[in-house]
Structure formats: C-alpha cells, structure tokens
Amino acid sequence: MLTFTLRRLLLAIPTLLVISLIIFLLVDLAPGSPMSEIPLTVPPEVRLKMIAALGADQPVYVRYILWLRQFFWVEPANMLDGWFGTNFVGGEQRILSWQSRSPVFTVIGQRIPQTLTVIGTAYLVGIAIAMPIGIYSAYRQYSVFDQLGTLVAMIGFSVPTFFSGTLFIIIFAVWLHWFPTKYDTTLAVTDWASFILQIKQMAMPVMVLALANAAAISRYMRSSMLENMGQDYVRTARAKGMTERVVVLKHVLRNSLIPVVTVIALGIPSIFGGAIITENLFGVNGIGAALIGAISANDLPMVQTLAFIFAVLIVVFNLIADIAYGLLDPRIRYE
Amino acid sequence: MNLKSALLGAVCAFAMAPAAYAERGTDGEVKLTFPQAVSIMNPYLSSGTKDIYASSMVIEPLAGYDDTGALVAKLVSEIPSVANGGISEDLTSITWKLLPGLLWADGSPVTAADVVFTGQYCMDPAGGCAQLSKFDGIKSIEAVDDMSVKITFNGPKPNPFTAFVGSTSPILQKAQFEACLGAAAPTCTDQNSMPLGTGPFKVTGFTVNDTVSMEANANYRDPAKPAFASAVIKGGGDAEGSARAVMSTGEFDYAWNTQIPPDSQAAMAAEGKGVFVVAFGTLVERLEMNMTDPSADLPEGERSTAKHPHPFLSDINVRKALSMAIDRQTLTEVGYGAGGAPTCNIVPAPALYASDNTGCLTQDIEGAKALLEAAGWVDTNGDGIREKDGKNLSILYQSTVNPIRQDFQALIKDWWTEIGVETELKAIDPSVFFGGDAGSPDTFQKFYADVEMYANNFDGTDPEAYLTQYKCDKAPSPENQWQGENMNRFCDPAYDAMVTELSSTRDAAKRAELAKKLNDMVTKDSFVVVPLVHRGTLSAHSNALGGVKINAWDSELWNVADWFRVK
Amino acid sequence: MSDQSIPKAQSQFGAVWRQFRVHRGAVFGLIVLGTLAAFVVFGPFFWPEVKLKVVEALKVKNQGPSLRFPFGTDQLGRDMLVRMMAAGKVSLAVGFVAMIIAIFVGTGIGILAGYFKRLDGPLMRLTDLFLSLPLIPLLLVLVMLFRDKIASIMGPELGAFLLIVYAIGITSWMQAARIVRGEVLALKEREYVLAAKSIGVPARRVILRHILPNIISPVMVAATLGVAEAIITESVLSFLGLGFPPDFPTWGRLLFDGLQYIQLYPERVIWPGLAISLTVLSVNYIGDGLRDALDPRIRGR
C-alpha cells in the first residue's frame, strides 16, 4: 500500500504537467478573445494594443512557460512573503486575470469562503439526507418508504438545477418573501440576527444542490446495500441472534460504504467547479461562477489556473478514493 | 483664480457645512444590481460598460453629457467655446479651467497636474488603454497653471470634446496612480479597484466580479449631496433576476440593463413597486449585407474578400427586396416593446444628424416579389426558391445567441421564405462572434455568411468616427488580420470622398448635412445596411428611489449624486 | 412414475422479465417512457403542423391552452404541442445515443483498467485528464474544428446532432469507467475468476463470460444516470448556443426559452420541464428494475 501510494504520488507530477499543457492548448485553441466584451465603440487598433498589453499576443509556448513559472514559483513565494514578511518575489508579476487585472489568487481567495460555505454545506446536507434514505430503502425494498424515497430522489435528480432554482426563487422569494433572491457576500456573521440572515440567504441554493446530490448518493447507497443484504454473512449474523440494527448498521453498512465512500470522495472536486448554474442564479460568488465567467470572457490565465487547480483536486481525490477503497475492502489488492 | 476668492469659497463652505451636512447621508443605502458583475473600477483598463458605469459613481470627467445629449460641466467652471475663449479660433486647442476648491476623496486638492497625468496614463504606448481613441490627434496636454489645462491638437478639430469628456474618460489622481504608468498599469490592483475620485461616492470594498461597496464622499463638492450615506452594486445573474429584484421583491433600488420581453415588463410594472425607464441613444439593431462571396468553395484567404463579389447580394434589387419584406413594427413589438422604435437610419440620433428616412417602415411583400420578378429572379423549377443564371437565392443568416435575436431570425426567415428566398439560420456564442479571434470562422469580421445581425452605436454625440467605419480600406481582410470595421465590405469612392470632406468641415450645419447624406448612402440608397430597430437602454428603479434621469449619452448613473429616497 | 409435472424450463429472458414485472416502479417507467416515445414519434401524424403566415401567427401569440392549441402558443404564435413533439424526438435521441457512447467507452476503459494491471495506471490518468478538461472550451473547439466539415457531409441538423452527441458522450464516460473499474477490481479476485485463469481461459473469455455479466448492475445505474445527464447537458448547451441551429427545438431549449416567461406563462416551462423530468424518472426506474432483474443474487429473492 505504501509503495502504491508513493508510486501514484510520483506519477501524479508528470500527469499534472501533461494535463496542464493540454488544458492550456485547448483553451488557447478555443475561439473567442478577451476583447469580446469590450464595446464595439473601441476601434480595432486600440484593441490590438490592449491585447499586446495583456501579453495575449505572445506565442503559445512563451505564455505557457511564463504561466508555469508564475504558478509554481511566483505564487507560492508570494504566499510565503505574505505570511513571513520575506521578500522572495517582491516585484515579480503574478498571474493576472485579463478581465479584472487582479491577481488570480486574490480572486480565488475572495471566493473560497463562499464556495465552501454554500456549496460545501449543500454537499454535506445532501450526504446526510442520502445515507439514511438509501439505507432504509434497501432494508425495506419495495415498501412504501422505498417507493417514496426513490421518488423524491428521482425527482431531485431529474430536474435541471436552473429549473428547480428558478422555481424556488419564484415560490419562496417572490411569492412567499421568505428568502432573498440575491446572495449578499458582504454579510458578516457577528450575532444571532446576522446568523439567521446568513441561513436565510443560503437556504435556497443549499436546497437546490442538496436535492441533486442526495439523489445520486442515495441511489448508490441503496444499490450497494441491496447487493450486500443478500450475502451469506448477513444470514449467519441473523441466525446468530444479532438484532436487526446491529446486522444492518454494523455489518452490512460497513461493507456497503465502500463504493459510496469512493463516490463521495470523487464528488468533492465538483464542489469547486460543479455548481456553476446555481452559483450564477443565486449570485453566490464561488469558484464555479468564476470559472464560467472567465470562460465566456476568454480570460485565459484565470481559466488555466482554475482548471489546473481542479485537475490537482481531481488527481488528489482520485488517489484518496483509491487508497480508501484499498484500505476498506480487503478483497482489493494493489501491488 | 486668486487667493481672495479661494479663501472666500473656503469660508463659505465651512459656514454652510454644519447646516448642509444634515442633508448628506440621511437616506441610508442605495442598492444597485447589474446583470454582469463589475470587474474593475478603472474605465481605462475596463472590459465593458458595467465597469464604466460603476466607476462613474466614484471618478468623474471634466465634463459629461446630460440626458438630452447636451454638454454639462462637472469639474470645470464652464464649458469652453470659441465665444468664451476656451477654444482657440483655429480650433487647434482647448483650455479647461478647473473649479476652485475641488478636492479628491482623500482631502488633497485637484490640480491641473492630475489632468495632465491622466492624459499621460492613457496615451502611454505600453499601457493598453481602452479609451485611447479619445486621445486621438492630440499633440500635447499641458498645465497652463495650477487650475488650467490646455490640450493642443495636431490640426483643427471641429469636435474637441473627446479627451476628459464623458464617463469613459475620467480624471485619475496623480499621487495614487503615479506608479502605474505603462506596463505597470494592470499590476496596480488596489488603485484599479479603489480609485480615489471627486465623485459622490468612495469605494470601501471591492470583490472582483461580485460586489462594490461604497460610502458617501465626505469631500464631495456639494455638501448637501449625496443624499445616500452608502451604496452597493451587486453583480451577476441575468436581466430577469435583476428586474425581479427591483420590481417584484423590492430588494434593490436600481437595476441596470433589464432587457426582458415586453410582456414581462408589463406584468412587472403592474405590480406597482417600480418603473422601467428607457433612454434612446444611438444603438441600432441592423442587418449587414455581405457584398462579397462567403462561399465555402472558395479557398481560405479569398472567402469574404473583395476578390469575389457576392453572387446575388451585389444586385441592389435583391437587397432592397429583402429590406421591403421586413415588418419593422412587428419586430419592435415582439422584441422590445416600448424599449425600441423602428428605424431606417444607422444614425438615428441626435436629432441634428437624423436623416428624414422613413420609406422602409412599411412592409411591402408584394412589392418585394414584383421587384425580384422584374430583376429576373424567378422560380423556374417550382421549389419555392428564386434563381437567376443558375444562382439560387439561398441565404445563411447569422447572429448571436440571444432570445430576442432568435425571435427576429425566425420572423425574418418566414418573411423571406414568402418572397422566395431560402434562409438558413445560425446563432453564435457572443464571445466568439465579437471576439475578433483571427483563427475562428465565426467572427462578425470574417462574415462567412450572407447576412449578419447585431447592434452597434457610437460614443458621444458626433457620428464622424462611426460613419468613417464604412470606408473601403476599413474592410476586414487577411491583410489586416481581419481587424476592420467595414463588415459588409461596402466600397464606394464617392462615400470615401465625402467622409474625407466631413473630417475637414467645421461648420456645424454643414457637418450635419454631410452626415445625413452619408447615412443615406449606406441605407436607403444602397441597402447595404438594413437598419431594423432603434434600441433604447432599459433599466428599472423602485418607486422609493427618486431623482433618476436615465441617460443614453453618458453613464446611466451620471446624476447619482442627485438621487434620494422618496418618503 | 411421478405424475407431478416438471416445471417448464425457464428461459433466461422469461426469468428476467418476471422479476422486472415485480418492480412496480420499473413497469411504470416502461409505460411512461413508451408513451413519451409514442408521443414524439407518432404524434405528428395525428397532429400535423399547420404552418401559419407570420401575420396570422402573431395574432395568436401567447395564448393559453385551447382546443386549437392544446398546449398554447409561444411569443411568436407557434403551436407548443407541435414544438414539444419535434423537440422530444431530438432530446430523446440525444439522451440515448450520447449515453450509449458514454457507456460503451466507459465500460470498455473500465474493464481494461480493472483487469489488466499494466493498463490501469495510464488509463486512470487518462480519466483524470478528461475529468479536469473544462467542458465548454472543449465543446467550442470541437464545434469549431468539426462543425463545417460534418455539416457539409450530412447537412446542418444531422451534423449538429452528431457533434453534440459525440461531444456529450466523450465527456461523460469517466463516471462509468470508474464504477466499472472498481467492480472489476473486486471481481478479479473472486474464486471463480482465479479458477478460470488458473485453467488457462484466455482473458477475453474471462471478461466476456464472467466479468461482464456481473457488472451489469452498476453499469445500469451509471447508464440511467447517464441519460439524465445527457439530456440536461444538452439543455445547458442549448443555453450557450453550442447546440442546434436556433429554429431546431429541443426540450432543453424550450425550457430555457420559457424561463423568461415563468411568472407570466408558467406552462411554457412546465411542459418541457415535466417532459424532461418524466423521461429521466422513467429511465431511472427502468434501470432500477433491470438491475434488480438482471442481478442473479437479487432475482427470485
């Protein structure tokens, strides 16, 4: 297991480099230019000058190498400078977004709290809902609870988030006036009243996302539980006189968790990039919204950096999922 | 400007301050929402209209335009003219005199050095300044004294109100932006997101592409204003969401750019919480007819270039018939409601330059059919499509992804099918269409289609630069990396000659006449441009917000200092 | 001689069908999906499109349901029932074909990665690469590179269809690959597989006879999720204009077009939204039933 982990980690480095190159080339090849949002009143000669000032007219390999240097040397050194007051990279240019001319990592830093708060909470809520539903549905297969639970999960999964999100806005915000329609990112939670306000403005996006997440996880949970409920050891445990609760929750659940844990682990990177539509709809300024905004504005440094960070997260969580799988399931052997 | 008046002014300000201070900042917070979030508060590096509007609350130009299109002084004592000696007789220089006692938000005085520095900032060759064209033809900008700035042009300039006029060209504080010249401009993140200005508000917080938080500027020149103590601009979502936030839920006071269908507008207005406001500038939605052949059979580099004239759109009868088949009134009603007006001009405003051109406003299907028949375009094989000399009237009609544009495309396709023209529709992502990427076949410059539809306008009130776009040499082609503005490749030596004449004409009446003639040459005389709708800018504000005067000639937030809470 | 009749030998198919029938949701799903399919395929014969001239059409715009227009009309006076049927054909086709491509590719890669140790590493890194590719630039590039070439061979609509289906397919196989690989890794260590290998059964036969039938269960789950994802992805693509030409409706497009009018004419959102949801729901139920029926451990319990 240890050699496996080490080998994977070592392999991860060239993998990530290749991924970063492919993403860079892909985004560069994609049609569109950072000048598309500029009003048409700006004449072409000025646009060309603006592109030159951004450094966007340099050949691809020059820009790629510059980006590599900035990402792996300038940015981490900059962070160290900030924490320890050193001066490794005092005047060096950081990765700048073409849209806002702000450093990309500043933007990421501004957005991570919202992403973790809203999207992260939705993911946790989704898991918390999905597991009991999946377990009980499998335990009482084809019962009313199973049918209902399945129905709710299916509905939560079948409805596109922009549909359910808009529907929620109309029902809860416009008709009932329970929740605000736009997320206030400047809200600082300092006392009970502001805490309630924060809950109120998080309620709708969390509901929309949790429904969608819960559906998929509960299906996997149920499917996995069903496979294990029919196993011999369950019959044996019951014959030995163990209570249903112990049988289901201690024996079956543990074995069924294996594929579910891997699915959950694999879903974590999607917290950062997957809730694009919801973030847009509710005005939650998260990382997903940043990525989609950067793509439509052809903001290459931002897209490249964010996409690369996702790639790192995906590779890391894939590794975590694999290790967890190997640790939890003794039948798996990694050489 | 002498010491005595300065002191007098200061004493008055102090005396009035306690009384007036009671009025400033009494109305709480004003909340605005934009469908696109603000990226940067510096219009010189900006990537869109949203940034220009947001920054207009904080930094100001020397003069701007009011809602009627007239010049209004902001930081100067009066608008210079030949009469008051501000503009030289030979029209080669203009002198601006700053208001006495003007302060930056941090309390330091505004001087001519700041104005000169701003000019330097934008004209720096490595700066990539987005508003560079406003500084065209300037020989020098110098501080005559502490409070006066003289701009000298390369030659006589009939319209000298370009630099430092309008919210696209505000004054920056030299002390703040000193280290940001040239290539360093984009790295000055703090300055770019929290510029110090003379405007009614001052930035207190800025999250990129999300929220701008502001508070009333304690050093604003009118001590009774602004009525609001703070302001916030929240960006993101779509036009529907923004409109809803003002008109249905009342969470926000002002929503910019709420382009929603006319029925939805009526329904939201009926709720009684707010109103929609429209202002008509120079934005015209139009069809451009490709005068060159975009056929895919031609080799790359010759497609859509002057080497191959268009097989059937070169025939003026075809273009005229296509224009006659369109019912602009219906298009306006379906797409824009009260936020649009049918038009036949590409220069619909100001009234001075608007040609008397209304012949295209009535649809004439039969007339179009007759015109095509007479010109020899007949349907010989019964397939419903006219042809002549083996060429089918088969059009590829492209535009951007936008529900209103798709509706227009559907309607126009129906009309053209009625007169015997086959139409294929294409919708392209706006960032690709307007991107100008030389490698993409879908840009509006490359125009690999027969007809394309989009909207265009011009800055300020003078259409000269706009009409110059249709000169022969402005056609996009491989030689200039497809960076040109003459999308339909219109080429008429008479047009070019008249444009040259316009650039050297000083008399205002004569200029207007020439502009009208040029407008007619591309519209009713040749139908190379088929204007459809004169579009207004549509925004919404709540009934609890007073003082809003929507303005199509400058920033919509031009008079935000005058806004107040309706009690 | 016993006069007890020996029960007739059950065919595999019969056994599967019997178990399937027990699952009420699955049967419901089959009926609903069948109805939807019949609606879009045969509906136009019973309710043909009446093409109105623009002037006529605009007189009947924005109407609610009536005898003449059972589903009402849209802002240009087009019959919503006709549009729903035409859009349904495209949406269902996109959903299924894209899912088939994704499952095919995903299962293939998953089996190879799970069974052959040496291929596991490179294939999983390939999966990581595809997972981290941003979908939209990828689609823009694909559209830019291939649209004109395909359109010149097959016409704009079929060309767009193939491009979209292909694009969705090759960007959604990763989930299925991971699931399959996980199952294959576990199955590989089972006694009967080890036994088969030890007697020298070639890898191909081991895979086809032992591994494949046992991974049907998770593949079914992935397939049903895949159809849903494909239909929804297509609607998001319509929203970005990366889909079909604008006069080519799909349910996703209709849903998106209707969102602007949700407060005024909610039925324009409800019809396509309901159609998409019912399709996904029934496919999921069918997948559930199939999984229960095909899994020998669950069948006959």
Per-residue pLDDT tens digits for C147-187: 777 777 777 777 778 888 888 888 888 888 887 887 888 78
Whether the bond into A205 is cis, omega within 30 of 0? no
**Alpha carbons C291 and C16: distance in angstroms, whole number:** 10
Chains that touch C (3 or more CB pairs under 8 A): A, B
The residue of chain A nearest to residue B41, with distances taken between CA atoms, is A100
Mean pLDDT over residues B98-118, rounded?
A: 93
Greatest CA span in chain A, whole angstroms? Answer: 84
Q: Is the separation of the CB atoms in B409 and B403 below 8 Å?
A: no
Mean pLDDT over residues C57-71, rounded?
A: 81
| Angle subtended at Cα B191 by Cα B186 and Cα B196, rounded to the nearest 5 degrees | 145
Token pair of C31, please? Answer: 């009926």
pLDDT at residue number B452: 96
Q: B29-34 and B387-388 as β-strands: parallel, antiparallel, unpaired?
A: unpaired
Chains that touch B (3 or more CB pairs under 8 A): A, C
Strand partners, C146: none
- B411 and C148 within 8 Å at the Cβ level: the answer is no
Q: Is the separation of the CB atoms in A95 and A301 below 8 Å?
A: yes
- C261 and B409 within 8 Å at the Cβ level: the answer is no
DSSP C208: I
pLDDT at residue number C8: 60
Question: Which residues in chain A are closer than 8 Å to B186, comparing Cβ atoms?
Answer: 53-54, 96, 101
Token pair of C27, please? Answer: 């049967």
pLDDT at residue number B12: 42
- A160 and C232 within 8 Å at the Cβ level: the answer is yes
The residue of chain C nearest to residue B417, with distances taken between CA atoms, is C53
Is residue B316 predicted with pLDDT exceeding 60? yes
Q: pLDDT tens digits for A98-125?
A: 888 889 998 998 888 888 888 889 999 9
Best to test chain C binding among B412, B442, B538 (most C CBs inside 10 Å):
B442
Q: pLDDT tens digits for B517-530?
A: 999 999 999 999 99
pLDDT at residue number C208: 81
Q: pLDDT tens digits for B219-275?
A: 999 988 899 999 999 988 788 889 989 998 889 999 999 988 888 898 899 999 999
Angle between helices B403-418 and B328-335 (to 10 degrees): 150
pLDDT at residue number B13: 43
Q: Is the separation of the CB atoms in B56 and B113 below 8 Å?
A: no
Question: Which residues in chain C are closer than 8 Å to B413, comparing Cβ atoms?
Answer: 247
Sequence-ordered list of residues with C-beta below 8 angstroms from that of C46, at least 6 positions apart, any chain: none
C136 part of contact set with chain B, CB < 8 Å: no
pLDDT at residue number C249: 84
- B133 and A43 within 8 Å at the Cβ level: the answer is yes
Is residue B389 predicted with pLDDT exceeding 70? yes
Q: How far is C260 from chain A (nearest CA, A)?
A: 10
> How many helices (DSSP H) and strands (DSSP E) are in chain A?
15, 0
- pLDDT band of residue C298 (cuts 50, 70, 90) is low
Mean pLDDT over residues B382-404, rounded?
A: 89
- DSSP assignment of B238-260, as one string? -HHHHHHHHHTS---SEES----
Element (H, E) at B93: strand B93-97
- B425 and C148 within 8 Å at the Cβ level: the answer is no
Mean pLDDT over residues B25-38, rounded?
A: 90
- B413 and C247 within 8 Å at the Cβ level: the answer is yes
Instruction: Nearest by CB to B264, from C156, C246, C264: name it.
Output: C264
More confident residue, B353 or B438: B353
Q: pLDDT tens digits for C115-149?
A: 888 888 888 888 888 877 777 777 777 777 777 77
**Alpha carbons A66 and A58: distance in angstroms, whole number:** 11
- A162 and C141 within 8 Å at the Cβ level: the answer is no
C257 part of contact set with chain B, CB < 8 Å: yes
Interface pTM, i.e. ipTM = 0.83
SS3 B107: coil
User: How much is the mean pLDDT over chain C?
Assistant: 80
- Reference A272, options A114, A40, A35; nearest CA is A114
Burial state string for C262-273 with b = 16 or more CB within 10 A and e = fewer than 16:
bbebebbbbbbb
More confident residue, A34 or B477: B477
Mean pLDDT over residues C30-42, rounded?
A: 90
pLDDT at residue number C6: 64
As a 3-state breakdown, chain A gives helix, strand, coil percent values, each rounded to 5, of 75, 0, 25
Q: Which of residues 143-172 of C touch B (CB under 8 A)?
A: 144, 148, 152, 156
Mean pLDDT over residues A81-88, rounded?
A: 81
- pLDDT band of residue B367 (cuts 50, 70, 90) is very high
B428 part of contact set with chain C, CB < 8 Å: yes
Q: pLDDT tens digits for B237-247?
A: 788 889 989 99
User: How much is the mean pLDDT over chain B?
Assistant: 89
Mean pLDDT over residues C249-261, rounded?
A: 82
Sequence-ordered list of residues with C-beta below 8 angstroms from that of A22, at least 6 positions apart, any chain: C129, C133
**Alpha carbons A95 and A306: distance in angstroms, whole number:** 11
B391 part of contact set with chain C, CB < 8 Å: no
N-to-C CA span, chain A:
7
pLDDT at residue number C280: 80
For the ranges A48-57, A120-129, C35-44, C89-98, the lowest mean pLDDT is seen at A48-57
pLDDT at residue number A333: 63
**Alpha carbons C267 and A253: distance in angstroms, whole number:** 44
Sequence-ordered list of residues with C-beta below 8 angstroms from that of B226, at least 6 positions apart, any chain: B24, B25, B200, B201, B216, B217, B220, B560, B561, B562, B563
**Alpha carbons B444 and A192: distance in angstroms, whole number:** 54
B237 part of contact set with chain C, CB < 8 Å: no
Mean pLDDT over residues B45-61, rounded?
A: 90
**What is the signed CA dihedral for B456, B459, B462, B464, rounded to 10 degrees?**
-60
Find tokens 């349904």 and name the residue. Answer: C88
More confident residue, A227 or B305: B305
Best to test chain B binding among A100, A181, A201, A287 (most B CBs inside 10 Å):
A100
Instruction: Nearest by CB to A47, from B189, B207, B436: name it.
Output: B436
**Alpha carbons A219 and A115: distance in angstroms, whole number:** 25
- pLDDT band of residue A220 (cuts 50, 70, 90) is confident
SS3 A38: coil
Element (H, E) at A136: helix A121-139
Question: Which residues in chain C are closer than 8 Å to B264, comparing Cβ atoms?
Answer: 260-261, 263-264
Q: How far is B535 from chain A (nearest CA, A)?
A: 15
> How many helices (DSSP H) and strands (DSSP E) are in chain C?
13, 0
- pLDDT band of residue C241 (cuts 50, 70, 90) is low
- B431 and A296 within 8 Å at the Cβ level: the answer is yes
pLDDT at residue number A274: 65
